[in-house]
Amino acid sequence: MQNPPRYPDIEIYILDTNIPDICEWLKKHLTIEGAPLVEGNTHKIHTNYNGAHIPVIIVEKASGKRFTSVWFDSSATPWETDLDCARSAFSALNKEVRCSASGWIEEEEEDAPDLWWKINQNGEKQCNWKD
């Protein structure tokens, strides 16, 4: 079985968490360079992984007011897919984590089902975001 291709960027959503805990998790995988730039609910962090610069944007209250979005604007992350990253975040934070069930496809129809992975204490399963 062939591994899925590396995603061009990574984005996950973490339920009921905080910025310091996210930063502690990030420090286990990336080198944080300098202080975050904070603009309202948005935290921009410059990180490095194996010599590659990886911008990380964290948005509090990104979805439903309880989820925090963590977006890695690079393909050079320690994780090949959103699901790999979500598993790492759940393992470190013990908070529910959601991510897209597939990579972003530009040609995808707008009314296509919006499937997500949900990882929590009950395991991993695909769901619609409303679940």
Position 111 scores a pLDDT of 44
Position 17 scores a pLDDT of 96
Rounded average pLDDT over 14-37: 96
Residue 109 CB contacts under 8 Å (≥ 6 apart), including other chains: none
Q: Where are the domains of the chain?
A: 10-103+114-128
What is the tens place of the pLDDT at every residue in 101-113? 876 554 444 544 5
**Distance, CA of 28 to CA of 21 (rounded, Å):** 11
pLDDT higher than threshold 90 for residue 6: no
CB-based burial label for 7 (10 Å; 0-12, 13-18, 19+) = buried
pLDDT higher than threshold 50 for residue 90: yes
Fold observed for domain 10-103+114-128:
Alpha-Beta Plaits (3.30.70)
Rounded average pLDDT over 65-77: 96
pTM for the model stands at 0.89
